[in-house]
């Protein structure tokens, strides 16, 4: 028997035996429904337009549902037009109005077609679930249209009258928008965002708003997310990092327009410090044009150089403060011979491409100049007082984590750090030594501490510092490489020195025996289970495959960022898990107004259709049923009294 106090609390929600019985009937019926559709996205990198299209099109599933519903009854052109209407109803309706092609017959035909699609996609939802997401004004009409049996003549006339009335009273546009939104909501039941929402693309802030508008989401943090989280928590090195990346990819809109970060002090400092320096090694990537914040590209290069030098200094300070990080090989500013214009790496001298470093003191190279220190204070205040940024970061905390196990799928962004023999790499801190799942759990706790601990707590600063290590440390599950070679990439001609080697996990995850070790560590079954991660772009054009280890591992970073399109040959993956199968949608670069339906490949067919009872949600519902069963018994035995009015 459950604790009586708990049953008393539950009785307030279900005050009578009849109420308990009704809820038990509903829950048992719900368990028999097919599981909802899960969508997995990774490495969004600020690509708002492309990501929004993936959401609105349900990564091509809407297009396939239209084809399944109408087949040869509707031409390819008409199917595509209907799909685009569902994706962007307001845009298409405006165009139809302008063209004068939205007459009453078109409205009636379109509403009828949308109802047919709605019927098809609502089959795995209860009627009450559908009603709950309908707009109040049209809920009755839509519910009637979805549940009318048109084979009966009287009902057929009733159906036609409802549709005709919608058009006659001028509600056609609103009704079409409602039906389009309903189709999208019914098809996309849960989003899994497997890291790297931020950096490289133009509007990570708008990507965050899109994610936050969705009712059911979880997020696994990526290394680019953690650097922004660290910046919001007040880590100066992380602030310099996110500024350097945003400036180098010409993402001024997200900084100044999206988050209101004041870059004027940085631009003034850069111009004063590097006024006559062409800063050739710091030219920015022109993948995007800023819509609102037009910037001089020569000034942007100077800003990029200024903030990178600050980043190298601040990173060096952290390395010296934390010998446990094991990053001494990344201390390179003190290895520069300013007289000869060289830097010593691995016992060998290399010529620097740029030796104009007026703010670097050879006697104390990691000390910020007075102006740099003042600038860092201003920038820190700007990050910490950005209301929109802080709201987004809090959402990352409330909906995110280092990993998630759901429905026999293990989700994480980067890797479980491993050595070449398949053992799990350990990381030692003042709190102990951690590896594998324990490492993931420990780091998640410290990430939470960095943001939420009281500033007076002695452990606060250590946690804030750790955020930078998670961005670039060799045992960071989010970074997953042996070193961050920003210095070598920028200052040296020797390309071999800027190579960053991936952790052994990325090689070993192609073999089932190593994947099974990870499953065992997370108490997962060895069959019908999957690892789903991103971080490493899959170079499809070179023949690389996203599915590994006999179908147990999915690497779904398909290069959504424009910076990766040339390398990968595609523009991102969506992994779709419905009640029948797992499928990969392979996207092409998004071009507004063009056909963007992805190629969908079924990769794993379930032995039988998965119902809600087979999912993690089903386990929770079964616990709820057990609780209700005990409450019902308590009512019947007289242990608790019913609240009968």
Q: Which tens digit of pLDDT belongs to each residue from 78-103?
A: 889 998 999 899 999 999 889 888 88
- Same domain membership, residue 224 and residue 107: no
- Same domain membership, residue 399 and residue 313: yes
Name the domain boundary from 420, 453, 472. Answer: 472
Inform me whether the pLDDT recorded for 541 exceeds 70.
no
What is the C-alpha separation between 121 and 100, in angstroms, rounded?
31
What is the C-alpha separation between 285 and 417, in angstroms, rounded?
31
Q: Quote the pLDDT of residue 290.
A: 52
- Same domain membership, residue 174 and residue 142: yes
- Same domain membership, residue 211 and residue 178: no
Q: Quote the pLDDT of residue 150.
A: 64
- Same domain membership, residue 295 and residue 251: yes
Tokens 């107004």 -> residue: 593
Query: Is 111 within 8 Å of 167 (Cβ atoms)?
Result: yes
| 2-16, 178-192, 349-363 — most confident range | 349-363
The DSSP H or E segment spanning 191 is: strand 190-193
Q: Which residue has the higher pLDDT, 495 or 154?
A: 495
3-state secondary structure string across 517-583 = HHHHHCCCCCCCCEEEECCCCCCHHHCCCCEEHHHCEEECCCCCCHHHHHHHCCCCEEEEECCCEEE
Tell me: the pLDDT tens digits for 195-211? 999 988 889 999 999 99
- Same domain membership, residue 330 and residue 253: yes
Contacts 24+ apart (CB under 8 A), 507-514: 508/418, 508/422, 509/415, 509/548, 509/549, 509/553, 509/555, 510/548, 510/549, 510/553, 511/549, 512/549, 512/550, 512/552, 513/422, 514/418, 514/422, 514/549
Angle formed by the axes of helices 264-273 and 370-384, to 10°? 160
Q: Quote the pLDDT of residue 415.
A: 94
Q: Quote the pLDDT of residue 229.
A: 97
Name the domain boundary from 457, 472, 487. Answer: 472
Inform me whether the pLDDT recorded for 68 exceeds 60.
yes
Domain span holding position 105: 59-190
% of the chain residues with pLDDT over 70:
94
Chain mean position to CA 8:
40
- Same domain membership, residue 288 and residue 168: no
Return the beta strands (E) in 313-470 as ranges.
336-337, 342-345, 348-351, 400-401, 403-406, 409-412, 426-429, 432-435
Tell me: the pLDDT tens digits for 232-287? 999 999 999 999 999 999 999 999 999 999 999 999 999 999 989 999 999 988 75
Identify whether 328 is part of a domain.
yes
- 63 burial (CB, 10 Å; 0-12 / 13-18 / 19+) is buried
Identify whether 433 is part of a domain.
yes
Domain count for the chain:
3
- Same domain membership, residue 355 and residue 216: yes
Identify whether 42 is part of a domain.
no
Identify whether 548 is part of a domain.
no
Identify whether 14 is part of a domain.
yes
Question: Which of 253-267, 399-413, 545-559 is the least confident region?
Answer: 545-559
Inform me whether the pLDDT recorded for 292 exceeds 60.
no
Identify whether 530 is part of a domain.
no
- Same domain membership, residue 250 and residue 221: yes
Identify whether 235 is part of a domain.
yes
Q: Residue 568 — pLDDT band, cuts 50, 70, 90?
A: low
* Mean pLDDT of all residues in 597-613: 88
Chain mean position to CA 418:
25
List beta partners, residue 531.
410, 553
Q: Quote the pLDDT of residue 570.
A: 62
- Same domain membership, residue 218 and residue 176: no
Give, in order, the Cα–Cα distances in Å from 37 to each of 84, 261, 597, 614: 21, 38, 18, 14
Inform me whether the pLDDT recorded for 564 exceeds 80.
no
Question: Which of 156-170, 395-409, 469-483 is the least confident region?
Answer: 156-170
Tell me: the pLDDT tens digits for 25-57? 999 999 999 998 999 999 999 998 888 888 888
Inform me whether the pLDDT recorded for 362 exceeds 70.
yes
* Mean pLDDT of all residues in 163-191: 87
What is the C-alpha separation between 20 and 306, in angstroms, rounded?
66
Task: Tell me if residue 422 falls in helix, strand or coil.
Answer: coil
Identify whether 63 is part of a domain.
yes
Q: Residue 104 — pLDDT band, cuts 50, 70, 90?
A: confident
Inform me whether the pLDDT recorded for 514 exceeds 90.
yes
Inform me whether the pLDDT recorded for 1 exceeds 70.
no
Q: Quote the pLDDT of residue 499.
A: 93
- Same domain membership, residue 213 and residue 125: no
The pairing of strands 426-429 and 409-412 is unpaired
pTM of the model: 0.92
Q: Residue 381 — pLDDT band, cuts 50, 70, 90?
A: very high
Inform me whether the pLDDT recorded for 579 exceeds 60.
yes
Query: Is 32 within 8 Å of 613 (Cβ atoms)?
Result: yes
* Mean pLDDT of all residues in 450-458: 92
Name the domain boundary from 439, 472, 505. Answer: 472
Query: Is 243 within 8 Å of 256 (Cβ atoms)?
Result: no
- Same domain membership, residue 359 and residue 390: yes
Inform me whether the pLDDT recorded for 595 exceeds 80.
no
What b/e string do you get for 580-603 counting C-beta neighbours within 10 Å, with b at 16 or more? eebbbbbbbebeeeeebbbebeeb
């Amino acid at each position: 028997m459950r604790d009586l106090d708990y049953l008393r609390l539950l009785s307030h929600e279900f005050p009578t035996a009849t109420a308990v019985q009704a809820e038990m009937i509903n829950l048992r019926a719900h368990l028999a429904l097919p599981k909802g559709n899960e969508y997995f996205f990774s490495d969004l990198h600020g690509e708002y337009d492309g990501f929004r299209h993936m959401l609105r099109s349900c990564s091509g599933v809407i297009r396939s549902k239209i084809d399944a519903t109408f087949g040869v009854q509707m031409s390819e052109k008409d199917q595509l037009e209907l799909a685009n209407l569902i994706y962007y109803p307001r845009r298409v309706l405006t165009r139809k109005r302008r063209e004068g092609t939205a007459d009453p017959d078109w409205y009636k035909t379109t509403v009828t077609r949308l109802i047919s699609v709605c019927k098809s996609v609502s089959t795995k939802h209860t009627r009450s679930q559908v009603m709950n997401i309908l707009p109040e004004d049209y809920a009755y009409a839509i519910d009637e249209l979805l549940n009318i049996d048109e084979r009966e003549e009287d009902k057929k006339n009733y159906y036609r009258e409802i549709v005709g009335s919608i058009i006659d009273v001028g509600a056609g546009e609103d009704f079409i928008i409602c039906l389009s939104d309903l189709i999208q909501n019914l098809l996309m039941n849960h989003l899994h965002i497997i890291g790297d929402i931020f950096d490289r693309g133009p509007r990570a802030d708008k990507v965050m708003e899109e994610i936050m508008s969705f009712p059911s989401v979880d997020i696994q943090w990526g290394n680019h997310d953690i650097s922004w989280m660290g910046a919001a928590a007040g880590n100066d090195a992380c602030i310099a990092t996110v500024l350097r990346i945003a400036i180098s990819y010409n993402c001024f809109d997200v900084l100044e327009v999206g988050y209101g970060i004041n870059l004027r002090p940085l631009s003034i400092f850069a111009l004063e410090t590097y006024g006559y320096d062409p800063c050739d090694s710091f030219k920015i990537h022109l993948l995007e044009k800023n819509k609102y914040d037009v910037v001089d590209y020569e000034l942007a290069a100077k800003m990029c150089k200024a903030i990178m030098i600050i980043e190298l200094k601040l990173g060096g300070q952290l390395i010296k403060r934390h010998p446990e990080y094991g990053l001494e090989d990344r201390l390179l500013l003190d290895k520069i011979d300013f007289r000869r214009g060289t830097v010593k790496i691995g016992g060998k001298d290399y010529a620097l491409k740029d030796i104009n470093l007026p703010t670097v003191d050879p006697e104390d190279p990691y000390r910020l100049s007075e102006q740099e220190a003042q600038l860092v204070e201003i920038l820190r205040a700007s990050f910490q007082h950005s209301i929109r940024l802080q709201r987004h970061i809090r959402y990352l905390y409330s909906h995110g984590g280092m990993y998630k196990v759901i429905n026999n799928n293990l989700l994480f962004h980067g890797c479980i750090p491993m050595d070449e023999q398949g053992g799990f790499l350990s990381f030692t801190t003042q709190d102990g030594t951690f590896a594998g799942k324990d490492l993931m759990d420990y780091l998640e706790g410290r990430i939470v501490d960095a943001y939420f601990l009281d500033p007076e707590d002695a452990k606060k600063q250590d946690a804030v510092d750790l955020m930078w290590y998670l961005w670039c440390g060799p045992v960071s599950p989010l970074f997953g490489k042996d070193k961050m070679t920003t210095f070598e990439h920028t200052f040296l001609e020797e390309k071999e020195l800027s190579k960053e080697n991936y952790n052994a996990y990325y090689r070993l995850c192609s073999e089932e025996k190593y994947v099974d070790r990870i499953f065992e560590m997370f108490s997962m079954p060895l069959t019908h289970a999957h690892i789903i991660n991103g971080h490493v772009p899959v170079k499809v054009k070179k023949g690389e495959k996203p599915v590994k280890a006999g179908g147990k591992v999915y690497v779904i970073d398909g290069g959504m960022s424009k910076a990766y399109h040339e390398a990968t040959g595609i523009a991102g993956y969506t992994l779709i898990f419905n009640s029948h199968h797992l499928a990969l949608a392979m996207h092409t670069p998004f071009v507004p107004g063009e056909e963007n339906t992805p190629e969908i490949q079924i990769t794993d067919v379930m032995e039988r259709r998965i119902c809600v009872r087979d999912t993690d949600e089903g386990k929770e519902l079964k616990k709820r049923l057990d609780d209700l069963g005990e409450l019902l018994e308590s009512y019947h035995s007289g242990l608790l009294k019913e609240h009968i009015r």
